[in-house]
Structure 1
């Protein structure tokens, strides 16, 4: 049998922290782990407390915990063609495959169309 306790990070910053620290935990899963970036935060301090023990930890966050790495990737040939056509507002190129009255991309929001082009060559 596996016993599980689900609680909020706020419980680790209250006085109830001592009761949770009394257990030897197998795994600690921390949601919103970006809060641990501040080493002086109450949550980070309590998790480093010698009385709070766990064998493994899993940190969940949508916010990067470290400096990000930028990898520049060149556009494909098709992406370059569409990007140039969008940038130059070349409707002849953008509508060249027009079938059954279906229009090409709307150029009302050019920045959005350029972003789509960079993400996928067939948008």
Structure 2
């Protein structure tokens, strides 16, 4: 039995003002992330659910879209109806030449 289909958006479809939730590991985040993203590693989601907005558009992102799709499914199963997966993840974000910042002093990149 499969759960609900995971809603997704492409990097160019991310709405202005969307809450970007980056669920990658700290080293991935430090290497490169969207400027307005919020970092919340996937394994911390269950204990930090209160940090995920329940209103407005929430777009969940990882490296390629797999982990973020799992997080979107988890959130949907816990009552969120405003979450979308970033199709292709940060790889697609970078390929679409969307802005990125790094935290480690190197040029922003996806690892």
TM-score (structure 2 length as normaliser): 0.32
Higher RCO (C-alpha 8 Å, min separation 6): 2
Give the TM-score normalised by the residue count of structure 1. Answer: 0.30
Whose helix proportion is higher, 1 or 2? 1
